[in-house]
Structure 1
Amino acid sequence: MSTHTPEVTWAQRSSSTEAEKNYVFLTIVATDVPTSDVKLDLKPTSLSFKGASTSKKITYAVDLDFFAEIDPEESKIHHTDRDIELVLRKKELKEEYWPRLLKDNKKMHFLKTDFDKWVDEDEQDAQVDDEDYMSKMNPMGGAGGDGGFGGIDFSKLGAAQGAGGLPDMGDLGAMAGEGESSDDDDDEDMPELEEEEAKPAAASSSKPKIEEVA
């Protein structure tokens, strides 16, 4: 297979006091790359990605050297049929945005701003959609002591969220648990309803006796 550099889009948020609001949105557009074929190595200062597309019959590959350090342990990932989405936690708490994503100031043809997620620095406090977006993400557990992320088991992520990017099974399990609890409550209430309905029936059964007396 021939090798191609995938399109990479990015946006960011920043905070000097709250680590969970200090991150980079990063999307690697790589169509139809099975989880079993994904090779992703995330380190504090860099990311390396490689994956083969089953429909395009090409291999995507890209290496990124970040402008500043990120925390792989606190970063998140979401794999779909269309792309690999990541939320990279910036290591340094700082109010100012990174001036760029990469250490090298050279313009990269494959790197673009994600305008769907981009918010100006002075308007980011009004952004309310980030939490919903990140709720579908999976934690990047399994990183080595040096921050490397080469040990990720994408097959488990694929089983958890599916090729179409469904929520993980933890969320689905919680939803199922709520449904079961609701059904049990309804079942417990049913006998009381039956007793209430039985009273009119009992009253009607006494009517023939009144007619006999008459």
Structure 2
Amino acid sequence: MSTITPEVTWAQRSSTSEPEKNYVFLTIVATDVPESDKQLDLQPTKLTFKGTSTSKKVTYALELEFFAEIDPKESKIHHTGRDIELVLRKKELKEEFWPRLLKDNKKMHFLKTNFDKWVDEDEQDEAPDDEDYMSKMNPMGGAGGGEGGFGGIDFSKLGAAQAAGGLPGMEGLEGEGESSDDDEEDDDMPALESDDKAEASSSSKKIEEVS
């Protein structure tokens, strides 16, 4: 099986006072690599990755030595069937962007700018908020976010769906309950009719006795 270097895209943010806004977006485009086969080691100065694609029948291998140190414990990851997304927390709080991702300034054919995430250094304050993107990320070394044991179900959204008129696939349950009550009421009706007949019969007998 052949070994290839996966495509890597990146962008960054910087801050002198807020660590959570001082990071690197890093995406490793490695398709259909099972979680069980993923080998990823993140260190303060470098990242190594290896994994085999079940669809492309190739092994991806990658080693990156960063321009400056990152904090692995504060970094995050999101692994999908298409790629592996990471948010790497820069160790040093600094207003200036890294001039490049890697320590070596040699141009790497597999490394590209993530233009969907990139903003200029002086336009960061006007950049869209990354909260939605961050919400799907998991801490390095542990499960979390939307990949828990319930298949990514957001129970807060389920609660909202209930309040808004029921859960998908459960339409009619309320109606069925109402029908059941109606049926019970319908079942009681003949008994009332019998009571009316009994009263009518009793009245007739009394009239005959008087006559």
TM over 0.5: yes
Partner of 1:104: 104
Residues of 1 paired with 2:74 and 2:157: CA distance? 25
Partner of 1:3: 3
Partner of 2:75: 75
* Matched letter for residue 103 of structure 2: K
SS of equivalent to 2:154: helix
Which sections of structure 2, spanning at least 5 residues, go unmatched? 167-173, 175-211
Partner of 1:160: 147
* Matched letter for residue 130 of structure 1: D
Residue 130 of structure 1 deviates from its aligned partner by 1.4
Residues of 2 paired with 1:120 and 1:110: CA distance? 22
Residues of 1 paired with 2:36 and 2:17: CA distance? 38
Partner of 1:92: 92
Choose from 175, 183, 196 the match for 2:157. Answer: 175
* Greater relative contact order structure (CA < 8 Å, 6+ sep): 1
Partner of 1:130: 130
Partner of 2:140: 140
- CA change 1:131–1:68 in 2 (3 A) is same
Residues of 1 paired with 2:100 and 2:151: CA distance? 32
Residues of 2 paired with 1:10 and 1:4: CA distance? 19
Q: Which moved more, 1:37-46 or 1:122-131?
A: 122-131
SS of equivalent to 1:134: helix
- CA change 1:13–1:109 in 2 (3 A) is same
Q: Which moved more, 1:173-182 or 1:101-110?
A: 173-182
User: Does the 8 Å CA contact 1:136/1:168 hold for their aligned counterparts?
Assistant: no
Residue 81 of structure 1 deviates from its aligned partner by 1.2
Q: Which has the larger radius of gyration?
A: 2
Partner of 2:60: 60
Residues of 2 paired with 1:64 and 1:174: CA distance? 39
Q: Percent identity?
A: 73
**Match status 1:19 vs 2:19:** yes
Which sections of structure 1, spanning at least 5 residues, go unmatched? 143-155, 188-214
Structure 1 length as normaliser, TM-score? 0.71
Residues of 2 paired with 1:121 and 1:160: CA distance? 33
Partner of 2:170: none
Residue 177 of structure 1 deviates from its aligned partner by 3.9
RMSD over aligned CA atoms reads 2.6
- CA change 1:100–1:168 in 2 (3 A) is farther
Structure 2 length as normaliser, TM-score? 0.72
- CA change 1:177–1:141 in 2 (3 A) is farther
Number of aligned positions between the proteins: 167
